[in-house]
Copies of this chain bind each other. A is one copy, B any other.
Amino acid sequence: MTAAVRGGSEGPQAGGGDGQEPITAAAVATQVGGVLVGDGSIEVRGIAPLDRAGPNQLSFLAHLRYGQWFATSRAGVVLISPELAGLTGAPSTRIVVDNPVDAMVALLARFHRQEPRSEGVHPSAVIASDVRLGLGVTIDPFVVIGQGAVIGDGSWISAQAVIGAGSVLGKDVRVHASAVVYPFTELGDRVILHAGARVGREGFGFVPQATGVVRIPHAGRCILEHDVEVGANSCIDRGSVDDTIIGAGTKIDNLVHIAHNVRVGRGCFFASQAAVAGSVRIGDGVQIGGQVGIGGHVSIGTRANLAGGAGVIGNVPAGETWSGYPARPHRDHLRASAAIARLAKIVRPLEQLVSQPVAANPANADASGDVS
């Protein structure tokens, strides 16, 4: 048996997209409300960037800066904006549309093979007798659901996932393979947990006692409100005294950590590998870049923006963009970075300036060199 996988990177890939049902250029034009130029009978089966698209793939051109790729592209059909519609290029079949990117996003769903979904409960699943399952629920093989859990209508729990005792899941929740919902966790409607997400773990809290270090019992809840999405292998701990709450519509990427007692507002975005320490408060609409770290007990104001890699150790005002480590306003960080680069070139003369005799530089007389 031969599996059809390439062994190397020999030149451009055959193309992106995985659609299988072909669609004609004329049909695409109708679907996106565009104007067809050229042969409407050409069929495409997938979607790809201009430089990699082949004759049976659709591509798009929204900016002149990609014009060089357009000149030589092998794409069968190209979505193109009105102002670029007359550009010289290899693809002769074009669909002129006001916003080619939006049109492309709409078409992506067309070329997106859906994962097949079974109906009902797989016989291998182990579901406690008092679990309440909603209507139209799918429970895949080897799922385990603990005592007293509630699964809302239309939810889909994939293979190997574990839903702990006493957890409450809303409607149309999607729990991907191998995710774990610890006991007593609450998920709103349309929450998505990707593979390996861990929500509701007892937080990382210990107190020293005479007999040694003792774990703090975590009686606080872990609540993910409606439309929250949690990436693969991300972890959200439950609270100790307080609750951990992720606000409605917040989206979390892979490998993110959110500690106990953290409150996250609505509509926030967490990029991959961000980490939030205990009892942090985050307002609505905050954007958090990849690998950002936020220290314990600080507050991040509404619609603040933390650049990738920022290390936050104090409160961030609403609406501001901060960066760097320790994080500060982005403009200050840029200024400091530029300053370092420039000063690094003149360290020796600066040292010599300040080491001149006191007579020549009276200002040095009381210079201790200490900045504190």
Question: Does A120 interact with chain B (Cβ within 8 Å)?
Answer: no
Question: Does A359 interact with chain B (Cβ within 8 Å)?
Answer: no
Question: Does A47 interact with chain B (Cβ within 8 Å)?
Answer: yes
Contact (Cβ within 8 A) A165 B105: no
Interface residues of A in 269-301 (CB under 8 A from B): 269, 271-273, 275, 277, 284, 290-291, 293, 295
Q: Scan A174-198; emit 1 where CB is below 8 A from any B CB, else 0.
A: 0011101011101111000011101
Knowing A245-B9, A257-B254 are in contact, say whether A267-B213 is a contact too (CB < 8 A): yes
Contact (Cβ within 8 A) A171 B3: yes
Hey, which chain B residues are within 8 Å of A116, CB to CB? 146-147, 165
Contact (Cβ within 8 A) B184 A113: yes
Q: How far is the CA of A155 from the CA of B12 in the complex (A)?
A: 28
Contact (Cβ within 8 A) B347 A112: no
Interface residues of A in 14-37 (CB under 8 A from B): 15-19
Hey, which chain B residues are within 8 Å of A335, CB to CB? 344, 370-372
Contact (Cβ within 8 A) B254 A235: yes
Q: Scan A352-363; emit 1 where CB is below 8 A from any B CB, else 0.
A: 111110000101
Give A243 Cβ to nearest chain B Cβ, in Å: 4
| Complex interface: stretch among A63-71, A82-90, A132-140, A314-322 | A132-140
Contact (Cβ within 8 A) B349 A363: yes
Give A31 Cβ to nearest chain B Cβ, in Å: 14
Q: How far is the CA of A160 from the CA of B178 in the complex (A)?
A: 8
- Interface majority SS on A: helix, strand, loop or mixed? loop
Question: Does A54 interact with chain B (Cβ within 8 Å)?
Answer: no
Q: How far is the CA of A178 from the CA of B182 in the complex (A)?
A: 11
Hey, which chain B residues are within 8 Å of A370, CB to CB? 335, 348
Q: How far is the CA of A370 from the CA of B339 in the complex (A)?
A: 9
Q: How far is the CA of A354 from the CA of B244 in the complex (A)?
A: 51
Contact (Cβ within 8 A) A47 B219: yes
Contact (Cβ within 8 A) B351 A113: no
Hey, which chain B residues are within 8 Å of A158, CB to CB? 162
Question: Does A168 interact with chain B (Cβ within 8 Å)?
Answer: yes
Question: Does A150 interact with chain B (Cβ within 8 Å)?
Answer: yes
Question: Does A152 interact with chain B (Cβ within 8 Å)?
Answer: yes
Hey, which chain B residues are within 8 Å of A337, CB to CB? 326
Q: How far is the CA of A272 from the CA of B232 in the complex (A)?
A: 16
Contact (Cβ within 8 A) B126 A188: no
Interface residues of A in 107-133 (CB under 8 A from B): 108-109, 111-113, 115-116, 122, 124, 126, 132
- Kindly identify which residue among B194, B326, B334 contacts A198, using a CB–CB cutoff of 8 Å: B194
Contact (Cβ within 8 A) B291 A293: yes
- Kindly identify which residue among B187, B207, B352 contacts A105, using a CB–CB cutoff of 8 Å: B207
Q: Scan A239-261; emit 1 where CB is below 8 A from any B CB, else 0.
A: 11111010111010111010100
Contact (Cβ within 8 A) B217 A112: yes
Give A257 Cβ to nearest chain B Cβ, in Å: 4
Knowing A5-B188, A290-B275 are in contact, say whether A242-B18 is a contact too (CB < 8 A): no
Instruction: Find the B residue at minimum CB distance from A216.
Output: B105
Instruction: Find the B residue at minimum CB distance from A200.
Output: B195
Contact (Cβ within 8 A) A344 B371: yes
Hey, which chain B residues are within 8 Å of A326, CB to CB? 337
Q: List 19 A-B contacts (CB under 8 A).
A: A5-B168, A5-B170, A5-B187, A9-B265, A19-B219, A52-B242, A102-B207, A126-B142, A140-B144, A160-B160, A180-B196, A194-B198, A201-B254, A237-B254, A257-B290, A275-B290, A344-B371, A349-B363, A353-B354
Nearest 3 pairs between A and B by C-beta? A352-B363, A349-B367, A339-B344
